[in-house]
Amino acid sequence: MATQTERHSTLPQRVGQMNGAWRLFVIGALAVLGFGIYSFWQEATQGMVVTGMRDVGTMGGATWGLYITMVVYFIGVSFAGITVAALIRIFNLDHLKPIARTAELLTVVSLILGGLAIIVDLGNPMRGVVNLFKYARPQSPFFGTFSLVVAGYLFSSLVYLYLGGRRDAARLAKSPSRLQWFHRLWAAGYADTPEERDRHDRASFWLAIAIVPLLVVAHSTLGFVFGLQVGRPGWYGTLQAPAFVALAGVSGIGHILILAAIVRKVTATPHRIGEAIFAWLGKFLLGMLLVYLYFMVVELLTLVYATPETEKRLSDALLTGEFAWIYWGSVAALVISAVVLIWQAVVRRWSVTWLVAVGVLANLAAIGKRYLIVVPSQTHGTLLPYDTGSYSPSVVEFGVIAGLFALGALLIGLFFKAFPALPIEDESEEVIANA
Amino acid sequence: MKYGMVVDLDRCQGCRACMEACKVENNTAQGHFWMYVFRYEEGSFPETQINFLPRPCQHCDNAPCVKVCPVGARFSREDGVVLTDADRCIGCRYCELACPYGVNYFNWRKPEKGQYEIVDWSDPDLEPVTGGAIPPYRNPDLDGLHGEEQRRTGGGSQAKGVMEKCTFCVQRIEKGLQPACVTTCPTDALVFGDKTDASTPVGRYLAEKRTWRLLEEAGTEPSVFYVGSRPPTHRSKEIERPKASV
Amino acid sequence: MQEITRRTFVKGTAAVGGAAAAGKFLFASSPSLAQAEAAALASPIEDFIATTCWVGKQDCGMIARRIDGRVVMFEGNPTNPRNVGTLCPKGHAQIQALYDPNRVKWPLIRTNEKGVTGEWRRASWDEALDLVAASVKEVRDRDPKLVLWQKGRSKAKGFYDEAFVKAIGSSKLGHGAYCSDAGYRGVEYTIGTHAVLHPDFKYCNYMLSWGWNITNAGGNKFCWLTWPRHMVAARDRGMKIAHLDPRLRSAGPFADTWLPIRPGTDLAMALALCQQLIAQGYLDRPYLTTYTNSPYLVKPDGMFAKVTEGAGEEATEIPLVWDEATGRAMKFGEAESPALEGTFELDGEVVKPAFQLFMDHVADYTPEWAAGITGLTAAQIRTVAHDFGDNARIGATMIVDGVEVPYRPVGIMAYHMSQQELGFQTIRAMTIVPMLVGAVGAAGGQLSDFTWKIYKNYDKFEHLKVEDPPYDFMLNKSKFYPMNTGSPSVVAQVMMDPDRYEVEKLPEVAILHMVNPLNSFPSRKEFLESYGKFKHVAVISPWMSETADYFADVVLPAATIEKYEGPISATDAYVDAVTLRIPPMEPLFESRGEIDIYLDLCERIGVLYGEDGYLSNVNDQLKLTDTAFALDLEAMPEVRDIFDRWAHAQGIDEGVAFFEDPAKGVYVKGPVSPTKIYGYATDPPFGGAVHRLYGDSLLDAQRQMKEKGAEEIYWRDYTALPEWRSLTMDSSPSEYEFYLISYHQIEHKQSRTSFIPLLAELSPGSKLDMNPQSAARLGIADGDTVTVESHNAVTGETRSLVTRAALGEGIRPDTVAMPHHFGGWTHPQNKDQGASANKVMFLGEGYTTNTADQSFHVKVKVTKGGEL
Ligand SMILES: Nc1nc2c(c(=O)[nH]1)N[C@H]1C(S)=C(S)[C@@H](COP(=O)(O)OP(=O)(O)OC[C@H]3O[C@@H](n4cnc5c(=O)[nH]c(N)nc54)[C@H](O)[C@@H]3O)O[C@H]1N2
Ligand SMILES: Nc1nc2c(c(=O)[nH]1)N[C@H]1C(S)=C(S)[C@@H](COP(=O)(O)OP(=O)(O)OC[C@H]3O[C@@H](n4cnc5c(=O)[nH]c(N)nc54)[C@H](O)[C@@H]3O)O[C@H]1N2
Ligand code: SF4
Ligand code: SF4
Ligand code: SF4
Ligand code: SF4
Ligand code: SF4
Ligand SMILES: [Mo]
C-alpha cells in the first residue's frame, strides 16, 4: 500500500509539488500584486488625479497613458499564443505540441491582463463593467467592438485550452491526489475512447479555424482605435493594422520563448522542449521582426518627411525630442534582436539563453513602441495653439501595472502547479491504465 | 432648429469674461475651462500681431466624440447640442482623445476638491449664510436632469471620474436664457441662437458675413462660426496662459 | 383613479435622486447633512436684486441672482448704459471675494509693534470705534489738519467721505498722484475740464490710442468695458487706430498701426506732431483765434500784455491781441481779425502773438529730432501727423440732433500715461495737438470730461501763488510744487525729513480708507519708514491690506458689495443715468458699510449732529440742504433712509426701492444733448474757458519759485510752453539698459483682486514682459526667474525684485514691463505671486512730476536667476 507522498510523486511535471523556490515565487508575486491593489485603491478613492494623466489641451497632459499602452501591449502578446496554438493544430505540427498549452495559457492570461488594464483606466471602473455591456455601442472602435471582441476571444481561447487539456485531465483524474477533484472536474467524464478522441480533435480543429478570423478582427480594430483619429496628428494612418499585428507577433513569440525556457527548466523536460522547438520559434520571431522592421522603415520615412507642421512637431519630438530615447532605444533593441537571430540562423546554433535575451529585448521594445503610439500625439499633437504638454506615469500607475504582471505570473505559475504544462507522454498511459 | 454660436473676432477683446461667467454659472472645477480664450502672437518685433480666439465646445454636427463613446454617454441632441450624461459616463476619456479641439475636461478629483481649496469654504462663519454649499455660489440648476431625454447633463463638477465640457448652458437655454458667456461678453463678440433661421442674429451673421470654422478639414462640422481675423497657425505662439494645472 | 405615466414617474424619481445627489455634493462639508438634504429637497426660492460692481471704478450695473437669500451669480444689468448687461472677468469673480472667509471678520486691535506683520485681538465695534474716536478727538482738538484722511481709487460718489473730511476739518489725500492727476492738471490748465482725453467715438474716424491699455484697462475716467464697446462700434464704422505704446498687448488686434514709442518720450512725440501739423498746414485758425489764447500778445518778459479795466475790487485784466484789420492792439474779443503770427510793437516793446512764439518754439522739434528720442522713424511721425490733420476735415461741420457743430473726426485717448516724469507738460502738448486742428469739442473730435463744466482749478491756475515757508505737510502752495496734486509720496518724504521741506507740523493720526500704499504706490521703502511715524492708524477695509498689516492700530471691517453706496453715475458718455450700490445680502461676518461706520465714528467724536456736523455736510454733499428731504441734524439716520431721501430729491417717487428693483435699478435720464457734449455748442462755448496754448502763469510760477530759492529740479518744468528736456532716469549708468514700465491687467484691479482665486487662476502672478531678442542676449528663457535691479539717477540708490520672465515680441527690446497687481502677502492666495513693480520704483525728485505726481518709469538692469 503506497504512502501519500509516493502516490503524489506519480503526478508528472512536478504538478502539485511545492518546494522552497516555488513558495518564494508565490510570496514575491503576492507582495507585488498587493502593492498593485493598494495603488488601485488610491486611484479608486481619490480619483485619477493620483495618476500622471491630465487633460489634453489647456492642461497640457495626456489623457491616455501607461494603462492604455499596456492594454495594447497585452492584447498584442495574446495574439502570438493563440496563433501558434492554432497553427500547431491546423497543420499538425506535432514537434511543437509540447509548447502548445504554454502558448494557449499565455493567450488567456494576457487577455485577462489586457481586460483588467482597461478597467483600471476607467474613471468609473464599477460602472464601466456594467455599462460597457449594458450600453455597448459597436460603432465605438475601442471599448465598444474591442471589449466585446476581447470577451469573445477570451472565451474561445478558454474553450480551446479546455478541450486541449481534457485528455491529460482524464489521465490525471485517475490518479489520486490533492488535485484529483480539479482534474476530475476538467475531465468531466471524458474517458478518452478513440471516438471521443477524434470528436475532440475535430472540434478543436474547427475551433482553431474559427479563432483565426476573430484574431484578425480583434487586432485590426485595435489598430483602428488609433488609426481613425482625425484629431490626432501621428495617429491617422500611422498605425495601420498590419504593422500593429506584426509587432504583436514579435512581443508574443518573445514571450513564448521566455516561458518555454522557464517551463523547460522547472518541469525538467529539456528532452521534450528541445532545440528544434526553439529554432522554430526563433525563425518565426525573426520572420515577424523583419516584417515589422519593414513597417518601421516606412514609418521612419513618413516621420522624417513629415508634413504638415503639426505632424512635424510630433516627429521632432519622436526623432530628436523628449521621446527620442524611447524611439531609438526600441529601434536599437529590435535591430539587435534581429541581428542576433540572423546570426544564430546562419550558424544554425540556437542558444536558449540568447533567445530568452532576445525575447526580453523584443518585449521592452514593444512596450516602448506602444507608449510612443499612445502618448506623444496627445502631448505634441494638438492642432490649436495649445502649449506642448507632458506626461510621465505616476508611482500609482507603475504600481498597478506591476501588480498586473505579478498577477499574470501567479496565474501561470499556479496553473502549471495544478496541471501539466506539456501534454503527458503516451508511455505513461499504460502506467495509469494498469493501476 | 439647431443651435449655433458666432464668435466675432473683430470685436473680441480677449478679456476672458466669458471664461469667468462660464465658471461661475457652471461651477466647473479649478483648471477646467469649458470656454477658453487663446491669446497668441505672430511675427517678430515690430511686425507683431496679437490675436484672441475664444474656444467653447464646437458642438459638432459630425462629432467624433459622440462616435467613439462606448456607452452613449456623449450624445448629440436634436437641437445640435452635444452633451455628456454624467450618470452613464464610465470615464474612459475616449471622447477627449477623439476631439480635435481639446475642449473636454475630466473630473480627475472629487468635485468638492476642485473648488478653489485655497479658500476654506467650509469655514463655520460662512455656514449660516451658505448652508455649507461648496462653492458658496453653487448653482442649483446644475442638479437634476435636463432636456427631453431627462439626463444628467447640466453643469460641471458632477462627479469624480466623469467627463465634462461646454454644454451650451443647457440649464439656461431651456429657461429661454442665453448662455452665460454670451450674456456677459462686454463687446457682444459672442452670438448664440438658431443657426438654421436666417432671422436670428446668428442666422444673419451667417448670411451677411464671411465666416470660417476651426479645423474645417477635420470634417467635424462645428456649430461654432468665426468672423474676422483668421485661424491660428502653427506659428501662433500662445501668450498669457492661465494656471491650468490640477 | 389617476395613473402615473412612466414619464412623470421617471421625472419624479429623477428629481429626488437629483436633489439627494445635490444634497450630498452641496453640503459635503455641512455638519447637518440630514437637514441639508431636506433643505435641498424643498425647492429653493430664487429672486433677483439690482446692485453695482464692487471691484472696478465705474461701478457697472449688476443683477444679483439669489437662491434662498444666497447670492449665486452676478450678471450685468441690461438697463445700465455703461455695461448694458455685460460684465468683465472681475465683475464675475467678485462673488468669491464676497464669501471669502479670509476677510477681516470683526474689528481687530493690534497687539504687537508696528512695521511688522500684525498680531491682533478680536474687539467689539464699540471698543474699536471708541479707540479711533478718542485718538482723532485728541489730535483734532489741537489741530484738525493733523488728522489725515486718506482714500485710494475710490468708487461711487464720495459724499460720505467728503462730509467726514469737512466735519472733522481734516487733511485729505487721494490716489490721484498715482493715477492720472498729472493729466487732469494738464487738461484743467489747458481747456478747463476735470478729466484727461478721449475721442468722440460716435463720429471719430482716426484715433490716437496714446498709452491707452485698450483691451485691459480704463482709458479716460472709465474702468474698462464702456470704452471698448464704443471702440468696436466706431471700428464697425471704419475708425482707424494708431496705437502709441511700448507694448502691443494693450491694443491687441485693435492697433491698425502700432507705434512702439520709447517710454517717457511722449512729449517729444507731441511736440513733433505740432511742428508737422503746422508745417503741413493743418491749422484751424478760426478756432485758435476765437477760443484759445493763441492771439494774446506776449511781452519780452514772457507775460501777456494786458489792460486793466475798472478799479479796486472790480479791477479785471483783459489781454490784448493784434488786430490785423485795424493794425493795432485791441482787447481780446473786440478785435475783428486777431493776428496769430507776426512781430509787433506795443508801448515801445516788441510783442508777439502767443501762437508766433509757439511756432518758433516747435520749429526745431522736427520728426527727425523726435525720431532720435522716441525710437520711432521720422516717416512714421510724419504719417501720423498727416493722417491726423487730413482726417480732421478742417472747416467741415455736421448737424447732430439738429445742432450744427464743427466736424473734426480725430481725437486722442489718453489717461494713465500721464504718469511719467514730464507728465503734466506731456498732456498739455497732447491736448494742443487736437487744438491745432480745431478738434477740441468738435463732433467726432477731442473730448475730455462728459460735459464742459469748467473745473475750479482752471481759474485757480490763472495765478499760481508761491508762498513763504513753513509749508503744510502736503507742500501746498510751496516753492517745491506750486501746482500740487497732493501726493502720499510727497507726504512720506516730508515725514521723513520735514526740515528739508521747511515743514513744521506733521500728521499724527491717519484714517486709511480703501487704500493700500504699501503695495500699490511707489515706493514701499518710504511708506514703511513714514507710516510708522503716525501715532495712530485706523484702516477701514474688508481685507487685511498690506498697509493695515504693518501699520494699523485698529482695523475696521468694511463690507464689500453688501452695502449701500452712491449715487453712482451710470453715464456711458452719451446717455445720462444714475444708480446706487444695493446690498444683495446682509454684510457678512461683523463687517459694516462705510457710511454706518462714519456715522458711528462721528457720533463718538462728537461731530455728527448740528450745524457743520457730519449730517449737515451729508445734506450739502447730496444737495438735500433746504429741501423737504434734508436729514434731521439731530437724529442718527438709517443709511437706507439717506438714499431714500436722495432718491426722492431726484424726483424718483419709489425712492430707493426703485434702485433695488431688478427690473429698474438704474435711473436713466436720457441721451446727453449735443449742447452738453460738444464744446462748440455749449453756452457759452467751452463753458466759457479760453483754451491755454500759452501758459504765462506757469512762467510766473517759475519766477516766484526761483525768488524763494527753489532748486532747478523743481522749477525747470514750469515753462509757458511744453519744453522737452532729457529725462532724469536716462542719466542712470548704461548697464541699467531697460525702461521698466507697469500696466493694469484685465484680470485684476490694482492690488484688490490678486487674491480672488478665480482671477489668480487666469493671471497667476507677477511677471516681467521682455522682448526675446534682449532676453536671448542675457541668456534668459521664457519663465526663468529674473532679478530686476533699478537705479535712482538722483540719489544713486538701487533696489531689486525677483520675478519671472515672460517673453513676447509685442514689446520694445529696450523696455520691460510688469503688471502692478501683485506683491501682496496677507492672503493665502498671494503666496508666491511674486513682487510688485512698486518695490523697485522711486518717489521724489526726478521721479515725480512738477505737479507732485508719481512717475511709473525707472531704468533697470535684468539678470537671470534669483530667489522668488
Ligand atoms: N482691468 C483693470 N482695469 C482698470 C484698472 C485695473 O487695475 N484693472 N484700473 C483703473 C484705473 S484706477 C485706471 S487709472 C485706469 C488706467 O487706464 P489705462 O491708462 O488705460 O491703463 P494702464 O494699464 O495704466 O495703461 C498704461 C499703458 O500705457 C503704456 N505705457 C507705459 N509707459 C508709457 C509711455 O511712457 N508712453 C506711452 N505712450 N505708453 C506707455 C503701458 O504699456 C500700458 O499699456 O484703468 C482703470 N481700469
Ligand atoms: N506700479 C504701478 N502702481 C500703480 C499703478 C500702476 O499702473 N503701476 N496704478 C495706480 C493707480 S491708477 C491707482 S488708481 C492706484 C490705486 O491704488 P489703491 O487705491 O491703493 O487701490 P488698491 O491697491 O486696490 O487698494 C485698495 C485697498 O482698499 C481695500 N478695499 C477694497 N474694497 C474696499 C471697500 O469696499 N471698502 C474699503 N473701505 N476698502 C476696500 C482693499 O483691501 C485694498 O487694500 O494704484 C496705483 N499703483
Ligand atoms: S468675453 Fe467676449 S470679448 Fe471677452 S474674451 Fe470672451 S468673447 Fe472675447
Ligand atoms: S468640439 Fe470636440 S467635444 Fe465638442 S462636439 Fe466637437 S468633437 Fe465633440
Ligand atoms: S469618457 Fe464618458 S463620455 Fe467620454 S467617451 Fe468615455 S464614456 Fe463616453
Ligand atoms: S455656452 Fe455655457 S457652457 Fe459653453 S462656454 Fe459658454 S458659458 Fe460655458
Ligand atoms: S469694468 Fe470695472 S466696474 Fe465694470 S465690471 Fe469690470 S471691474 Fe466692475
Ligand atoms: Mo487709477
- Give the dihedral sign, CA C642/C646/C649/C654: negative
Does residue C222 sit in helix, strand or coil? coil
Q: How far apart are CA C103 and CA C94, in angstroms?
A: 13
Number of alpha carbons in the 13 Å side-chain half-sphere of residue C477:
10
In chain B, the residue whose alpha carbon lies closest to the alpha carbon of A136 is: B71
pLDDT at A116: 93
The per-residue pLDDT for range A160-172, each reduced to its tens digit, is 899 888 888 888 8
Q: How far apart are CA C580 and CA C655, in angstroms?
A: 11
CA A148 vs CA A125, A140, B72, C227, C668: distances in Å: 16, 11, 16, 60, 67
Q: Does chain C touch chain B (at least 3 C-beta pairs within 8 Å)?
A: yes
Question: Which amino acid is present at C119?
Answer: E
pLDDT at A37: 98
Confidence tier at A426 by pLDDT (50, 70, 90):
low
Question: Which amino acid is present at C773?
Answer: Q
Exposed e or buried b per residue across C809-831, where buried means at least 16 C-beta atoms within 10 angstroms of its C-beta: bbbbbbbbbbbbbbbbebbebbe
Ligand nearest to the CA of B8: 3
Exposed e or buried b per residue across A20-40, where buried means at least 16 C-beta atoms within 10 angstroms of its C-beta: eeeeebbeebeebbebbeebb
Other C-beta atoms lying within 10 Å of the C-beta of residue B217 = 9
The secondary structure of chain C in percent helix, strand, coil, rounded to multiples of 5, reads: 35, 20, 45
pLDDT at A307: 66
What phi and psi, each to the nearest 5 degrees, are found at residue C531?
Answer: -65, -15
pLDDT at A151: 79
Residues in chain B closer than 8 A to C225 (CB atoms): 15, 186-187
Mean pLDDT of A75-100: 86
- Give, as one character, the DSSP assignment of residue A143: I
Ligand nearest to the CA of C91: 7
The per-residue pLDDT for range B220-245, each reduced to its tens digit, is 999 999 999 889 988 899 999 999 98
CB atoms B71 and A137 under 8 Å: yes
Residues in chain A closer than 8 A to B234 (CB atoms): 308-310, 312-313
CB atoms A378 and B97 under 8 Å: yes
Cell of B130: 451658505
CB distance C581 to ligand 2 below 6 Å: no
CB atoms A47 and B218 under 8 Å: no
Residue tagged 495653439 (cell numbers): A385
Cell of C446: 477731442
Other C-beta atoms lying within 10 Å of the C-beta of residue C344 = 20
CA B182 to ligand 6: nearest atom? 6
pLDDT at A270: 84
- pLDDT above 90 for A304: no
Are B62 and B230 in contact by the 8 Å Cβ rule? The answer is no
User: DSSP secondary structure string, C775-834?
Assistant: HHHTT--TT-EEEEEEE-TTT--EEEEEEEEEE-SSB-TTEEEEESS----SSGGGTT--
pLDDT at A44: 95
Across chain A, what does the average pLDDT equal? 85
Are C646 and C652 in contact by the 8 Å Cβ rule? The answer is no
pLDDT at B123: 95
List, chain by chain if needed, residues with CB within 6 Å of any ligand 6 atom. B 21-22, 25-26, 34-35, 56, 166-169, 179-181
Helix C524-531, helix C488-496: angle, nearest 10: 60
pLDDT at C44: 86
User: Which residues are C397's β-sheet partners?
Assistant: C406
Termini Cα distance of chain B: 38
C290 CB contacts (<8 Å, ≥6 apart)? none
Q: How far is ligand 7, taken at its centre, from the CA of residue B184, in Å?
A: 12
Residue tagged 496565474 (cell numbers): A411
Q: How far apart are CA C125 and CA C104, in angstroms?
A: 13
Cell of C102: 479670509
Residue tagged 530686476 (cell numbers): C788
- A383-387, B159-163, C315-319 — most confident range: B159-163
CA A265 vs CA A10, A14, A360, C398, C629: distances in Å: 19, 11, 17, 103, 106
Residue owning the nearest CA to atom 3 of ligand 7: C56
Q: Which mean pLDDT values do the consecutive 10-residue runs of chain C (868 residues) have?
A: 35 36 36 46 85 96 96 97 98 98 98 97 98 98 97 88 96 95 98 98 98 97 97 98 98 98 98 98 98 98 95 90 96 95 96 98 98 98 98 98 97 96 98 98 98 97 96 97 95 96 97 95 91 97 97 98 96 97 96 97 97 96 96 97 97 96 94 97 97 98 98 97 98 98 97 96 97 98 97 97 97 97 96 93 95 97 94
Helix A180-187, helix A147-174: angle, nearest 10: 120
pLDDT at A232: 67
Are A135 and B71 in contact by the 8 Å Cβ rule? The answer is yes
Q: Does chain C touch chain A (at least 3 C-beta pairs within 8 Å)?
A: no
**Burial class of A237 by CB neighbour count within 10 A (0 to 12, 13 to 18, 19+):** exposed
pLDDT at C689: 97
Q: How far apart are CA C849 and CA C481, in angstroms?
A: 9
Are C304 and C297 in contact by the 8 Å Cβ rule? The answer is yes
Are A247 and A293 in contact by the 8 Å Cβ rule? The answer is no
C161 CB contacts (<8 Å, ≥6 apart)? C149, C151, C154, C513, C594, C598
CB atoms B242 and A121 under 8 Å: no
Q: What ipTM goes with this model?
A: 0.94
Across chain B, what does the average pLDDT equal? 96
Cell of A30: 503576492
**Burial class of C632 by CB neighbour count within 10 A (0 to 12, 13 to 18, 19+):** exposed
User: DSSP secondary structure string, C23-68?
Assistant: HHHHTTT-S-HHHHHHHHHSPPPEEEEEEE-SSSTT--EEEEEEET
CB atoms C102 and B119 under 8 Å: yes
In chain A, the residue whose alpha carbon lies closest to the alpha carbon of B55 is: A384
Mark which residues 61-90 of C lie under 8 Å from B by CB.
67-68, 70-76, 83, 85-89
Are C695 and C298 in contact by the 8 Å Cβ rule? The answer is no
Cell of C644: 431714500
